[in-house]
Amino acid sequence: MLRIRQDLVDRIVEHARTDHPDEACGVIAGPEGSDRPERFIPMVNAARSPTFYEFDSGDLFRLYKDMQANDEEPVVVYHSHTATEAYPSRTDIALASEPGAHYVLVSTRETGNADGPYELRSYRIVNGEVSEEPIEIHDLQNLGS
Amino acid sequence: MATEVRVPTILREFTGGEKAVTAEGPTLQAIIANLDANYPGIGGRLLDSSGLRRFVNVYLNDEDVRFLDGLDTAVTERDAITILPAVAGG
């Protein structure tokens, strides 16, 4: 199960809508071993594509360097699908390389850049195996738990 | 002469869980060969028949080796090598 704050979910959706029709991508880092997404880090999609995303290589290096310095790990790795459902594609599955992360997908196919209902789902991807997991969304004031 | 190599989570199954190991060699190619000799199988996760795998990034200090000399990049014991899988998908 992914437990995540509402404001972080909102930021993922907002990023996806802003970058639509290209795919948006990013990470939410959290303290190592905590499984708690805390620090929202939107990344540039170096592919600038509606069907592909990739972190820029230099950005990727700095991201991991910063996380290491902060004793953090990527708790959530998110990206958007802009014409298909929020389910990992074959490429997503083949390239997934953080077995401890929650892979969050959001689809903007219904609303594009506009507000409205969204589809956001979370998965574990380990050794090519996808398993969807429930998402428990918390308000900011319930942070303490 | 040994150079530090930082290993990503996904490849720590080869290094007994170690986040960083050392390897010897004057070039990245030699370093990877030495790594594979000590941690059998890791080389195949980094290289394919055409060289460095497309979705594997290797950095010499803070520079992607693709912007240096690729596998021919010269390495000294004062350098640090970092391996990071691309974060990418469709």
CATH code for the domain of B64: 3.10.20.30
pLDDT of residue A141: 63
- Residue A47 lies in domain: 2-139
Question: Over chain A (145 residues), what is each successive 10-residue block's mean pLDDT?
Answer: 98 98 98 97 98 98 98 98 98 97 97 94 97 93 54
Average pLDDT, chain B: 97
Q: B88, B7, B2: which is closest to B45 by C-alpha?
A: B7
pLDDT of residue B60: 98
- Pairs of CB atoms within 8 A across A/B: 64
- As a whole number of angstroms, the distance between CA B46 and CA B24 comes to 17
Within-domain flag for B69:
yes
pLDDT of residue A18: 98
Contacts of A55 in chain B (CB under 8 A): 86-88
Q: How distant, in Å, are the alpha carbons of A6, A121, B4, B34, B81 from that of B61?
A: 38, 37, 10, 19, 6
Within-domain flag for A15:
yes
pLDDT of residue B78: 97
The answer to pTM > 0.90 is yes
pLDDT of residue A145: 46
Within-domain flag for A145:
no
Residue B86 has pLDDT above 90, yes or no: yes
Choose the closest CB to A100 out of B9, B66, B89. Answer: B9
**Banded model confidence at residue B41, pLDDT cuts 50, 70, 90:** very high
Within-domain flag for A18:
yes
Domain count, chain B: 1
- Residue B66 lies in domain: 2-85
- As a whole number of angstroms, the distance between CA B8 and CA B85 comes to 7
Alpha-carbon distance A141 to nearest alpha carbon in chain B (angstroms): 32
Inter-residue contact B88 to A52 (CB < 8 Å):
yes
Residue with tokens 């991508």: A25
- As a whole number of angstroms, the distance between CA A106 and CA A78 comes to 8
Choose the closest CB to A60 out of B10, B57, B89. Answer: B57
Any A CB within 8 A of B59 CB: yes
A57·B57 Cβ contact <8 A? yes
Residue B1 has pLDDT above 90, yes or no: no
Question: Can you tell me the mean pLDDT for B20-24?
Answer: 98
B89·A65 Cβ contact <8 A? no
Within-domain flag for A144:
no
Inter-residue contact A132 to A121 (CB < 8 Å):
yes
Alpha-carbon distance A142 to nearest alpha carbon in chain B (angstroms): 31
Q: Is the dihedral of CA B62, B67, B68, B71 positive or negative?
A: positive
Choose the closest CB to B9 out of A43, A54, A99. Answer: A99
* Per-position DSSP letters for A77-118, written without gaps between them: EEEEESSS-SS--HHHHHH---TTSEEEEEE-TTTTTS-S--
Within-domain flag for A109:
yes
